[in-house]
Amino acid sequence: MTELLRKTAEELGRLIAAREVSAAEVAQAHLDRIAEVEPKVNAFLHVNADAALAQARAVDERIARGEKLGPLAGVPVAHKDVFTTTGMPTTAGSKILEGWLPPYDATVTRRLREAGLVILGKTNLDEFAMGSSTENSAYGPTHNPWDLSRIPGGSSGGSSAAVAAYEAPLSTGTDTGGSIRQPAAVTGIVGMKPTYGGSSRYGLIAFASSLDTPGPFARNVLDAALLHEAFSGHDVMDSTSIAAEVPPVVEAARQADIAGLRVGVVKEFGGEGYQPGVLARFREAVDLLESLGAKVVEVSCPSFGYALPAYYLIAPSECSSNLARFDAMRYGLRVGDDGTRSAEEVMALTRAAGFGPEVKRRIMLGTYALSSGYYDAYYGQAQKVRTLIARDFDAAFHQVDVLVSPTTPTTAFPIGERADDPMAMYLADLCTIPTNLAGNAAISVPCGLADEDGLPVGLQIMAPVLGDDRCYRVGAAVEKALEDRWGGPLLAKAPAL
Amino acid sequence: MADTETLMPYDEALERFEPVLGLETHVELGTASKMFCGCPTEFGAPPNTQVCPVCLALPGSLPVANAEAIESTIRIGLALNCSIAEWCRFARKNYFYPDMPKNYQISQYDEPLCTDGYLDVVVDGRTVRIEIERVHLEEDTGKSTHVGGSTGRIHGADYSIVDYNRAGIPLVEIVTKPIAGTDTLAPEVARAYVTELRELVRTLGVSDVRMEEGSMRCDVNVSLMPRGSSEWGTRTETKNVNSLRSVERAVRGEIERQAAILADGGRITQETRHFHEETGRTTSGRSKEEAQDYRYFPEPDLLPIAPDREWVAALKAALPELPSVRRSRLQAEWGVSDLDMAAMHNADAIELVEATVAAGAPAADARKWWMGELARRANEAGTALAELSITPAEVARVTELVASGALNDKLARQVLEGVLAGEGSPDDVVAKRGLQIVNDEGELSAIIDKVLADNADAADKVRSGKVAAVGALVGGVMKASRGKADAARARELILEKLGVS
Amino acid sequence: MSAITRDEVAHLARLSRLALADEELDHFAAQLDQIVGAVARVAEVAADDIPPSSHALPLTNVFRPDEIRPSLAPEQALSGAPAVEDDRFRVPRILGEEA
């Protein structure tokens, strides 16, 4: 593995801008790495080799002409295959969209192109971002670079694995119930779920509209902040986008000082169902925060216990409607159109053939929860729980500046272990879901390896709405202290592929 | 097939049953861009040229609401005396249909923008208050063309082709409360309501409300209850009734059909029915295997609407003069009877008369030409008055020519004919057809001399004092001059020449 | 008690336009029953006086001005279509009118 691959995105950006290395060399190094490890990892659904090199050369030319570009110009990025990209297929990990070439770029895609980032390709995911393991992809599972027999998390598992395997220094993901933070945690990297509305959903293939949030993956906190800043901010194409400045995330990541900060430990997270090694690393992280000058208190969020059931009503309800457009009429797969069948029959046959089991489960669950007669008891009640969870956060953030918890109850589980046990799978998102329901910000940063299995554990840092910078500030402080302790990044401990 | 159903004669049906109506009217707003995206809304563009990721429901696309459409809806609500919601949301109405790209329609459910209003209409001299239940905003669907089979209709087609240009055009739905107590006037009340609503919307300038282009469409609900009963019957909903005349016919036809079924001891099926323009009858829509469950829920991609109170008050204050108020004013200005005013209203002539008056014509003349000769021509051609290819300014010019003595009524009718035939302006037609009244005394005198010579008998009668016989001579002059002579002057000259005074 | 029966799954599948095989119906019935049983816990929360949240954040009134933006070219619009005829999306015969 060449040294270029180990560099941070921030370093690569500086080297490229200073013409000490060309963007084309950087792209080629990553493409070579992809060619080398993809047979083992399967992080990518599509590799954009020729276009990536062309894009990199164009950046090099602009720099040679003396143009002043952004800090990540020429740095490679991999996109979760749920963002639309012109010139590249976009499948959402589903057979129903196999080969679909979108005629437009997602806002996230477009902004990163404009910032000069080089798109390496599209990464694997649980079909339509529904899952916590990337096993629900129609194109085969992605493998965790720490242990190829284990899941890389999900739904953005291709993006987390690609960054953890040094196939890309940066990647994008989406977080609906933990789909960025959980994969980041189990692959030992940084993953951030911005404030809902802080990053545009335009061109993000919807799973659950009121929860979906695009966010960055990186191997360190500063890189994540740089990527976050590059694609975030108000977008007139997304009604739910917040018309406010992007919080000063890069500045916060560089600051990394938490003296006097008030940190709350969520009382409700921990105990039964949590792996001892995860809890041990989490407690050490809390001690570390205290040693860095933070004031740590325990905070109770009584409604968080109902977040998981509320989520599994709200998200499927929205998805049942969002996925109705995949009907074989305008784009995508069409099955059974033999000239005798009706449109209705062709729709039903196509959807049965094109969607995987988890997607079907959630569509039917959502259809059930929205049905007249059940609406109030299920969807309506879940929305009230959502209000209560937001109130719990409000109360907590009156007492403390950030809340912390383990990102996930366990480390990466073996591929296949929970594949046909939806309830067990859903537990992976226990600690991440409340933030999605309330719309606030949260990050996962590596906090060590569990003793039982030697696999990465993530620390989740939650901040109020538009307090994204606090996640980076605390995350960077923890990262710095731990890397000093470890003598380098956690990923350095990962086995070579 | 449903077409063989028996009907009960209307009068008999009304003797035995009392109708209850409900009208749901969809109005396509005339915004420049669609409801949730920036695609243009122009009618008649080539297929799928006014579509984008949003209105095609491409994966990843998101709606953003058109501010103008929200404002237009609120203005319609205010003009209908509605309350405007302080906070309301869009909702998704979920059902699969190929012409609806997302397979849900963004609409409003239990939180419409406008509620509880009314619209007064006058039918047969009686004012009927139509209560408005709600006014809400939603989006239109695409258009399917059914290919194959013999009829071009949906049933029996081999496949369909879909154009999504119309998908996403803002659509305002105006729903009445049940309208009872209209008695034998039910069809006329329905028509008067739609007419009044159309005029109101047009006055607001928020839609061109062209029923023939589908920018205004009506669904007509009808139920019957036996006389003396107070329990409403089962209603049917007749979809897409697309002209004023059809509204009236659909109500009448449905009353006749339901009455026959009920009188025969049958039951009305709650169903959707389709109106057939050619026969004036309705037929049953596809019976649904299971009841529709639209699974409405608040649209998460769009934020709630909370119209600012001051803004709403300002919109209300800025409403234009509404049609009923305007009609009262014009009636007073023009000095016409209730009956004449109603006739003009029914003929859609008020605006035309008003514009003609504005172009300089006396009100009585403007009304005479539009309601007389031009109404007759429109009727012959089977078009609406406003569709005639003549402008109010041209009509005003004709009245001016008559008033100045340059034309008489007969010639004026020929001028109108020429304008309608595309021969140019009234002055062009006068010139091209040579329709000027003959005012040249020499020419007129020569014609009279010839007529007197040719009709010596009649001339003698006049000379001998039978002045009434002069009519035949004047007629001869008019004939000889091919109508261009000034008849009054001709009479004077004839009497002069014959020595009678 | 079982909340979701096989018949109910069949009904949900019809509403969702999913042509499921018989064995899928059985499998999903068991799983959905388990999931619905678990999520039904939301009913335990006393929330009668709590307003529901349909959105993550309490924002209102986001509109766009009524301005035309470029549409797709027809060939782009139709580029993903399974079948095209006369610049229109060709679809199988439609059974009947709904809504």
pLDDT at B70 over 70: yes
ipTM over 0.85: yes
> What's the CA angle centered on B14, arms B13 and B17, to 5 degrees?
80
Which of B102, B162, B293 has the CB atom closest to A371's CB atom?
B293
Q: Do A92 and B59 make contact, defined as CB atoms within 8 angstroms? A: yes
pLDDT at B435 over 70: yes
Residue found under tokens 């049958």: B266
> pLDDT tens-digit profile of A204-216?
999 999 999 999 9
pLDDT at B1 over 50: no
What's the distance, CA A434 to chain centroid?
Answer: 16
Residues A391, A394, A395, A400, Cα dihedral to 10° = 150
Domains of chain C (ranges, CATH numbers): 6-45 (1.10.20)
What's the distance, CA B113 to chain centroid?
Answer: 26
The residue-averaged pLDDT of B477-485 equals: 85
In angstroms, the CA B17 to CA B190 distance is 17
Interface of C with A in 45-84 (CB under 8 A): 45, 47, 50-57, 59, 62, 64, 72, 76-77, 79-83
pLDDT at B288 over 60: no
Q: Which residues touch B343 (CB under 8 Å, ≥6 apart)?
A: B349, B371
User: Positive or negative CA dihedral for B405, B408, B409, B411?
Assistant: negative
From A217, A213, A222, select the one nearest A252 (Cα to Cα). A222
Where in chain B are the domains?
10-312, 323-433, 441-497
> pLDDT tens-digit profile of B292-327?
899 999 999 999 999 999 999 999 999 999 999 999
In angstroms, the CA B188 to CA B251 distance is 9
The residue-averaged pLDDT of C54-75 equals: 96
Which residues in chain B have their CB less than 8 angstroms from residue A127's CB?
none
Q: Do A312 and C53 make contact, defined as CB atoms within 8 angstroms? A: no
β-sheet bridge partners, residue B284: B273
The residue-averaged pLDDT of B89-117 equals: 97
Which residues in chain B have their CB less than 8 angstroms from residue C19's CB?
none
* Contact (Cβ atoms closer than 8 angstroms) between residue B458 and residue B473: yes
Residue type, B412: A
From C13, A256, C42, C93, select the one nearest B144 (Cα to Cα). C93
* Contact (Cβ atoms closer than 8 angstroms) between residue B485 and residue B444: yes
Residue found under tokens 């990721």: B53
Which of A341, A378, A384 has the CB atom closest to C47's CB atom?
A384
Count of residues in chain A: 497
Interface of B with A in 98-127 (CB under 8 A): 98, 101-104
Instruction: Output the average pLDDT for chain B.
Output: 91
Q: Is B263 helix (H, G, I), strand (E, B) or coil?
A: helix
Q: Do B303 and A240 make contact, defined as CB atoms within 8 angstroms? A: yes
Q: Which residues touch A436 (CB under 8 Å, ≥6 apart)?
A: A175, A176, A177, A178, A193, A196, A211, A213, A311, C56
> pLDDT tens-digit profile of A436-495?
999 999 999 999 999 999 999 999 999 999 999 999 999 999 999 999 999 999 999 999
> pLDDT tens-digit profile of A177-200?
999 999 999 999 999 999 999 999
Dump strand ranges (E) for B285-431: 297-298
- Residue B236, burial from CB neighbour count under 10 angstroms (0-12, 13-18, 19+): buried
Indicate which of C61, C85, C95 best probes the interface with B, i.e. most B CBs within 10 Å of its own CB: C61
Is residue B232 less than 8 Å (CB to CB) from chain A?
A: no
Both tokens of A171, joined, read 């990647």
pLDDT at C1 over 60: no
Which of the residue ranges A241-245, A275-279, B288-292 would you say has the lowest mean pLDDT?
B288-292
HSE toward the beta carbon, residue B207, CA cutoff 13 A: 28
Is residue A321 less than 8 Å (CB to CB) from chain C?
A: no
The residue-averaged pLDDT of A409-414 equals: 97
In angstroms, the CA B412 to CA B414 distance is 5
Instruction: Give residue B3's pLDDT band: very low, low, confident or very high (50, 70, 90).
Output: very low
Which residues in chain C have their CB less than 8 angstroms from residue A306's CB?
41-42, 44-45
Both tokens of B423, joined, read 């021969």
Give the count of Cβ contacts less than 8 A between chain A and C.
179
Q: A410 vs chain B: nearest CA distance in angstroms?
A: 32
Longest dimension (CA), chain A: 73
B285 to chain C: closest CA residue: C97
> pLDDT tens-digit profile of A17-71?
999 999 999 999 999 999 999 999 999 999 999 999 999 999 999 999 999 999 9
Interface of B with A in 259-318 (CB under 8 A): 293, 295-297, 300-303
DSSP state of B2: G
Q: Does domain B441-497 have CATH number 1.10.10.410?
A: yes
> pLDDT tens-digit profile of B195-205?
999 999 999 99
Q: A466 vs chain C: nearest CA distance in angstroms?
A: 11
Residue found under tokens 């243009």: B40
Which residues in chain B have their CB less than 8 angstroms from residue A202's CB?
60-62
Q: Do B69 and C66 make contact, defined as CB atoms within 8 angstroms? A: yes
Which of A84, A103, A327 has the CB atom closest to B103's CB atom?
A327
Q: Which chains touch C (3 or more CB pairs under 8 A)?
A: A, B
Which of A106, A208, A324 has the CB atom closest to B102's CB atom?
A324
What DSSP assignment string belongs to A333-382? Answer: ------SSS-HHHHHHHHHHHHS-HHHHHHHHHHHHHHSTTTTIIIIIHH
Q: What's the confidence (pLDDT) of residue B189?
A: 96
A322 to chain C: closest CA residue: C16
Q: Do A377 and C43 make contact, defined as CB atoms within 8 angstroms? A: yes
Is residue A110 less than 8 Å (CB to CB) from chain C?
A: no
The residue-averaged pLDDT of A234-245 equals: 98
pTM of the full predicted structure? Answer: 0.89
Both tokens of A134, joined, read 């990337």
pLDDT exceeding 90 applies to what percent of chain A? 96
Instruction: Give residue C2's pLDDT band: very low, low, confident or very high (50, 70, 90).
Output: low
HSE toward the beta carbon, residue A128, CA cutoff 13 A: 30
pLDDT at B156 over 80: no
The residues of A annotated with a catalytic role in the active site are 80, 155, 179
